[in-house]
Amino acid sequence: MKFFADTADVDAIRDLNDLGLLDGVTTNPSLIKKSGRNILEVTKEICEIVDGPVSAEVTAIEADQMIAEGRKLAEIAGNIAVKVPLTLDGLKACKVLSGEGNMVNVTLCFSANQALLAAKAGATFISPFIGRLDDINMDGMELISEIRTIYDNYGYETQILAASIRTVNHIKDAALIGADVITAPPAVIKAMANHPLTDKGLDAFLADIKSGGISIL
C-alpha cells in the first residue's frame, strides 16, 4: 500500500519523507488556504520534496476551464496529478487530461457507480471519502470493497486512493480490503507506530540497559 500525506504543510511533508514513509501527497484548496501560501508556489515546493505523485486540485467547475487549469498545474512538475471533482464536467476533463498523458486524481467519490465512471474516463486515482460517509452513518469501507470488486472484475488500472482518513483503523481496514493508496494527515500516519505494549517493553529495555551499564558505542 502507498502512503500519501494529505496536507500542504511542507515541514510535515519533509519530515515524513525523511522517515521513508511517504509515496506521495494530496492537496486541495482548503489545505492550500491553511498553508497561507500561493497555490503554484507551495505545490512546486512539495513536488521538489516528494518523488511520487502530488495531487493539485483545479478550482474551476466547468470542463474547459478545468482542462486549462489542469494543463497549467501539470507544467509545475512531472509528478503532478491533476485533481478534478467527480462531476460530468470533471469526468470530461479527466478524459482529456489523461489522454494527454497526465496523471489525474478524481476526487469527491461517494458511490461505486461514480468510481466506475472515473475508471472509464481514464482516472489514475479515484478518491472515495471514507470519513465523510461514516459521518452520515454510511459505511465508508463498504464503498472501498465495492470499488475493489468492480475494478478487479474488469481489470481497470485506476488506483483506489482511500481518502478522508480519520483514524489508524481506517488505514488498517482499507489495507485489508485492498485499497492501493491511502491519504491521511501526517499525524494519523505517524500514530500507526504507537502501541502501549511497545512503550511498556521499551521502558523495560531502557531500565535494564541503565542498570546493567550496557553500551554499544
Cell numbers standing for residue 217: 558505542
pLDDT of 35: 84
Tell me if 55 sits within 8 A of 125, measured CB to CB.
yes
Residue 188 domain-assigned (yes or no): yes
Catalytic residue, chosen from 33, 34, 83, 172, is: 83
Q: What is the pLDDT of residues 131-184, one digit of tens each?
A: 999 999 999 999 999 999 999 999 999 999 999 999 999 999 999 999 999 999
Cell numbers standing for residue 159: 488506483
Q: What is the pLDDT of residues 63-72, one digit of tens each?
A: 999 999 999 9
The confidence band for 99, taking pLDDT boundaries of 50, 70 and 90, is: very high
pLDDT exceeds cutoff 90 at 127:
yes
Residue 67 domain-assigned (yes or no): yes
Tell me if 135 sits within 8 A of 129, measured CB to CB.
no
- Domain region containing 79: 2-212
Residue 89 domain-assigned (yes or no): yes
The CATH number that applies at residue 40 is 3.20.20.70
Residue 78 domain-assigned (yes or no): yes
Q: Which of 78, 72, 150 is nearest to 117 (CA)?
A: 150
Q: Does the active-site annotation cover 83?
A: yes
Number of domains making up the chain:
1
Tell me if 125 sits within 8 A of 105, measured CB to CB.
yes
Tell me if 86 sits within 8 A of 109, measured CB to CB.
yes
pLDDT of 215: 86
**Average model confidence (pLDDT) across the chain:** 96
Residue 217 domain-assigned (yes or no): no
